[in-house]
Amino acid sequence: MTSQQGTREAAGAAGAAGAAGAAGSMKRGTTRRGWIGEAAALAAGGMLAACGTASGGAGEELPKAGTREVTLRYIMHQDNSEIPTYEGIAQLFTQKVPKVKVAVEPIPWDDYPAKITAMLAGGTPPDCCYQASRRVIGFAANGQTVDMSALVKKDRDAKKEAFWPGTIEENTWRGVLLGWPSDAVGVPVAFNKSLLQQRGATLPSQYVAEKRWNWDAVLELSRRVAGDDVYGVAVRDWDGDWPNWIYQNGGEILNKDRTESLIHKPEAYEAIQHSVDLIYRHKVAPPFNTQPWSDGKLALTLAHPNSVQSWRKTLSFDWDIAPLWTKKAAGSTLFTGATTMFKDSKNVAEAWEFAKFFGGPEAEKERIVKNGRTPALKSLQDEYVKILDPSQSPASAKLYLEALEYSRPLPITPAWTEMRQIIGEQLKPVWAGEKPAKDATAEITRLVNPLLAQFGKK
């Protein structure tokens, strides 16, 4: 996932909200906001129906996978570094289930919801897709995905407790299991050890040992290194970045039921303002949404584990990772990968077998070795560092696993894509240093709450 994807995923917002279901009921002259409301209402209705029974044949007896010739369409985000890995996993699966082939179909991140919506509307649904849950929850709410809960109940080999708990939480909406986990990603911080030593700065690992790795320490370190086009820490609008500051300050984005925004509360807007102040007030962060990490001109950056293998090949300096800093609390965004299945597929049994394989130990190990992905399976947690190869950077790779302890799923709802677009629009002048975060977050809450209310518990 790139640093811009948090904002870019707003593209195709209507698709994620269940456009296929809403399109037939659109009236001439309906506003975009009004249409989103219609889509949300239809999605909520679809959700009530979906909660009762498993969709797409999951509540019926399925044919045994491997008894017929089938080619599954498996959609993935178009990450060029991972396409060969996915294709290799597909081939491994076919070796085990010879009659089932898997056609891996990459789709650009920006186009993901819209293209899947078009496939569903056109009667050519994919059988399954690898997903970030916030990208497909609209399909689940609109009753277009298979509720895997019923499949799990009937399958003795499928055990939810085998996974890191947050992966099940993030892929569940109102009791519907919309994805079978395959990875769990906590994001610690990477630091340019060479740069920090050259500038005489204290290493994050030392701050951690002294139990003072907090916002003040980040500012202190950043001031020590900043200057001559070198910066301390980057500030971005990626969804793995701005929520962290809120969580660390004791704030929340939404309430527990996800029916009201809390981003206008002091704990939230003060956290956003603090991050902006690193750019304009303290002048220790590079221009917004830039991070000259690969150039060796940034001391700290968020360390997504799928960057490990590319950094090993491209970085010319010594680097390591540390836990993400804290303030009132520890806090980082948890990202999960999972396989979602679509109810209109004619190959539910085979797709379910592939989902289990993709989330199983053999495929997980492939993704660790080739892409650095952290496993969702608890059984692989102890093996992760060994599989990743501890002879190469980062020396503290086990901290990728420890990051899961303080990482939290985003508060996704079927309104997430539209809500995320509003957040991006309203915070844009804040990120530009032109508007106080307090004012922008108040407007976010005013605009977001009507969307969230449509998904209130009945």
- What are the residue boundaries of the structural domains of the chain, listed by start? 5-183+336-386, 189-333+413-453
Lowest mean pLDDT among 58-72, 84-98, 205-219, 419-433: 58-72
Q: What pLDDT band is residue 97 in, cutting at 50, 70 and 90?
A: very high
Count CB neighbours of 416 within 10 A: 25
pTM: predicted TM-score of the whole model, two decimal places: 0.83
b or e along 1-30 (b: 16 or more beta carbons within 10 Å of the residue's beta carbon)?
bebebbbebbbbbbbbbbbbbbeeeeeeee
In 3D, which of 54, 20, 56, 58 has the Cα closest to residue 344? Answer: 56
Q: Which residue has the tokens 């999605």?
A: 43
**pLDDT, position 457:** 60
pLDDT in tens, 242-262: 999 999 999 999 999 999 999
Residue 43, pLDDT score: 37
User: What CATH code is assigned to 189-333+413-453?
Assistant: 3.40.190.10
pLDDT band with cut points at 50, 70 and 90 for residue 110? confident
pLDDT at 10 over 50: no
Report pLDDT digits (tens) over 283-328.
999 999 999 999 999 999 999 998 999 999 999 999 999 999 999 9
In which band, very low, low, confident or very high, does the pLDDT at 39 lie, cut at 50, 70 and 90?
very low
More confident position, 187 or 63: 187
> E strands along 125-264, which residues?
128-131, 172-173, 176-177, 180-185, 189-192, 231-233
Give mean pLDDT, residues 227-242. Answer: 95
Lowest mean pLDDT among 40-44, 386-390, 401-405: 40-44
d(CA 361, CA 321): 25
Band of residue 151 on the pLDDT scale cut at 50, 70, 90: very high
Interval 388-400 mean pLDDT: 93
- How far is 291 from 296, CA to CA, in rounded Å? 10
295 φ/ψ angles, rounded to the nearest 5 degrees: -80, -5
One-letter amino acid at 250 equals G
Query: DSSP alpha helices (H): ranges in 211-333?
Result: 215-225, 242-248, 266-280, 308-314
Q: What is the pLDDT of residue 213?
A: 98
Confidence of residue 62 (pLDDT cuts 50, 70, 90): low
Residues in CB range of 53: below 8 A, 6 or more apart: 59, 147, 150
Q: What is the CATH number of domain 5-183+336-386?
A: 3.40.190.10
CA 56 to chain centre: 26
Q: How confident is the model at residue 61 (pLDDT cuts 50, 70, 90)?
A: low
Neighbour-count burial of 140, counting CB atoms closer than 10 A to its CB (0-12 exposed, 13-18 middle, 19+ buried): buried
Work out the average pLDDT over 153-181: 91
